[in-house]
Amino acid sequence: MGAAPYLNTQVIGQYLDKHLLIPLLQNLKEKNDEDKHFDTKQLLKAQMDVISKTKMVEYEMEFFTELTGKKDMPAEMATRRDKVLTDWAEFEGNCGNLLSVVEGSEGEDPLMDALKKDGNFNAEFLRTNHGVEADNIEALYYWAKFRFECGNYEQALNYLEAYRLLSTNQQGLQNAMWGKFAVRHTFQPPLPRYPPPRAELGVGRGRRIC
């Protein structure tokens, strides 16, 4: 097959979302480990460059360490990581009580599942019984988008599915439909979920982020 897989990735990659390109580059690196077509460091650098355009800063740091041998995060990278943490708290907070319905408690099925089964997973029921307002529903779309950008693809898909059941915003629903399409074509576990648990960072409820 020669260089065809490498050339095809280069051509196709120009038109792909960065999150769709990441698994392609990983596959390319694994193939290169076998046939040694390119310098491994070049491929690592290409992966890091793509990841640097997402919010997966800790994932980017892994490549930086592998390339340079340095374990201390560069100041510019640390600044971007801090921005991710700040944005996380803001987007999460904007969803209000809706997140506890969609996510559920650790080790338990989400309340959303029971409400859907009973036909009560709708905006009116949530507003009356759980204090969920229209703004919280719209915020759920942006929370899903943010989680996608952090590489939390499975969680993003769950939020988008909930949003599509609750929202009446036609533009938002269309965006969510395309968002689900992107997630389903990106989600290839197990991609790392970074940074470490939020409890270790002194933030929030101990869930993993980005």
Distance of CA 178 to the CA centre of its chain: 15
Long-range contacts of 179-183 (CB under 8 A, 24+ apart): 179/141, 179/144, 179/145, 179/148, 182/17, 182/19, 182/20, 182/148, 183/148, 183/153, 183/156, 183/157
Predicted structure pTM score: 0.78
- Burial of residue 132, with CB atoms counted within 10 A of its CB: 0-12 exposed, 13-18 middle, 19 or more buried: buried
Name the residue with tokens 């759920």. 140
What pLDDT sits at residue 198? 42
Token duo for residue 77: 């990278």
User: Predicted confidence band at 191 (pLDDT cuts at 50, 70, 90)?
Assistant: very low
Side chain identity at 77, as an amino acid letter?
M
Specify whether the CB–CB gap between 173 and 167 falls below 8 A: yes
Long-range contacts of 156-160 (CB under 8 A, 24+ apart): 156/183, 157/183, 157/184, 157/187, 158/102, 159/102
pLDDT above 90 as % of the chain: 55
What pLDDT sits at residue 4? 47
Kindly report, residue by residue over 34-65, the tens digit of the pLDDT.
777 778 888 889 899 999 999 999 999 999 99
Kindly report, residue by residue over 98-125, the tens digit of the pLDDT.
999 999 777 788 999 999 999 999 999 9
